[in-house]
Structure 1
């Protein structure tokens, strides 16, 4: 009885461009060293009716060598050579694609001032871009010390060059960070942590207004995080007016850690 093929290995081979059955067949051949199509089928579970054609496809891709005869035998090409070639091709392809993308310059009559970002990588990248471009004032509200902590070094740099206003829902959660924070009142903190829309709970992880011109709201909706970026000065001005109203109304307490 043959041991099962590692599904993690097959998944990685799929990411390198093979199909699931191609990944299983190649991994099986690496394990067997040299085998017939039937032996590959018995080890990997690749359908018997498909395994021969799959091995021939792997041969054309350079993963497998074929020894003609009766029966036909197949042998895996050394994984170091195969993966090395794929890595080089992928790197070259990535560089060429980047160059080609940078050459694109289509005239867009109008760009939307509102964008929604739903990937963790994209959200962090956009926050860092906003922090990098701040020149005069940054207002930050956060309920999530882990998320805000990812940008601690960026915020420390801003302290020297612009007005930095940091507001949190609970000072105790943020005591480990080297900033002076202003705390919201309990009612407002409870509100932003427990908003429900159509039965889905929303929690405002972080909100920023940069120079009164651009804002980003990062919130968790259920188990997903997303961000809304607004580059519309009139909206950002209204958001800042709301902040001033909250201060004047006592919803934001002028207390520092």
Structure 2
């Protein structure tokens, strides 16, 4: 991607991007000189300059004729980022007012890596008590910050990994078949269960940049089954010395996560881990 394509991707028009880049090459410059250099009609150049001035990307020296100088790129990009964040917050607030989440127990297919990873991060961020995972190295590296943040909120977290056991503030158990599985499994596995309320299962490409198949559901019944099976796998692969603790903290019956309480009709209660007074 060259410089003007980068600016177009950030919201500049093609003419605005070319004018700004031309000013970076040599300024100050008049609108007439820019029109000659770019082979564009003067009216379109002056329109672009007016828009760039409004965006805070050029400085205007009044005179006859007027001349223009570019604002340094770092300042322009910082202003664009601040503007984007402001618009993002406004849009988020407006969209949140419209969104009324409803549990529907259906299974949904996810098609892109970005969609899979954002769904995974949202699940972790929304977890109240417990998260279980089965993660190959690429998705584990991408989700470690979110898992670490959830652990700091006293969410109980444990899962299977397929590389050397990392130094993180939550339980990671290296699969006893890690080398064999990584060699034979047709991609990078991502399995995540949050509060036994929702689960995500995805087979990514080996480098973690593509999706071969991915499903998500908020069916508490299916989520409880996923939680139970994954918890058993974690405990089976864990050292004998930690199995009792892991069973108490993560087994479906032993820990009684929110999804199970909902499934069996137990009245809601305050969170056991994530809700501190």
TM-score between both structures, scaled by the size of structure 2: 0.58
Q: Secondary structure at the match of 2:148?
A: helix
Deviation at 1:55, TM superposition (A): 0.7
Within 2, Cα distance between the matches of 1:42 and 1:13?
21
Equivalent in 118, 123, 132 of residue 139 of structure 1? 132
Contact 2:131–2:195 under 8 Å retained in 1: yes
In structure 1, the gaps of 5 or more residues are 1-5, 197-201
Structure-2 residue corresponding to 1:217: 201
**Which structure is higher in strand share?**
1
Residue 192 of structure 2 is aligned with which of 208, 212, 219?
A: 208
What is the aligned partner in structure 1 of residue 250 from structure 2?
none
Of 18, 21, 28, the residue aligned with 1:24 is 18
Is the aligned partner of 1:101 residue 2:84?
A: no
Q: Taking structure 1 as reference, are residues 86 and 184 closer, same or farther at Cα in structure 2, changes over 3 Å only?
A: closer
Give the Cα–Cα distance (whole angstroms) in 2 for the partners of residues 123 and 203 of structure 1: 13
Q: Which residue of 2 aligns with 1:167?
A: 160
Q: Deviations over 1:43-85 (max 9, x none)?
A: 4xx3x2x34242132245363879999xxx66326637x9598
Change (3 A) 1:150 1:179: same
Residue 76 of structure 1 aligns to a residue whose secondary structure is strand
Q: Are the aligned partners of 2:197 and 2:219 in contact in 1 as well (CA < 8 Å)? A: yes
3-state DSSP of counterpart to 2:20:
helix
Structure 2 residues without counterparts, runs of 5 or longer = 243-277
TM-aligned CA deviation for residue 24 of structure 1: 1.5
Distance 1:239 1:111, change over 3 A: closer
Residue 176 (structure 1) aligned to one of 167, 171, 192:
167
Say which SS state the counterpart of residue 17 (structure 1) adopts.
coil
For residues 234 and 126 of structure 1, the distance between their equivalents in structure 2, rounded to whole angstroms, comes to 19
Instruction: Tell me the residue number matched to 1:3.
Output: none
1:118 match: 112
SS in 1 for 2:196: coil
The 5 Å alignment of 1:41-80 reads: 43=37, 46=38, 48=39, 50-61=40-51, 63=53, 75-76=67-68, 79=71
Q: 1:240 to 1:11 in 2, by over 3 A?
A: same
Structure-2 residue corresponding to 1:236: 223
Aligned equivalents of 1:255, 1:229: Cα separation in 2: 31
Task: List per-residue Cα deviations over 1:152-206 (Å, max 9, x = no partner).
Answer: 5335446x564x4432335xx11433555434332x763366433xxxxx211x4
Question: 1:207 Cα shift?
Answer: 1.9
- Distance between the aligned counterparts of 1:213 and 1:94, measured in 2? 28
Q: Deviations over 1:108-135 (max 9, x none)?
A: 8968553527354872564354354232
User: 1:95-116: CA deviations, max 9, x gaps?
Assistant: 5434433343579896855352
Partner of 2:269: none
RMSD after superposition: 4.6
Larger Rg: 1
Match in the other structure for 1:199: none
- Give 1:92 shift: 5.8
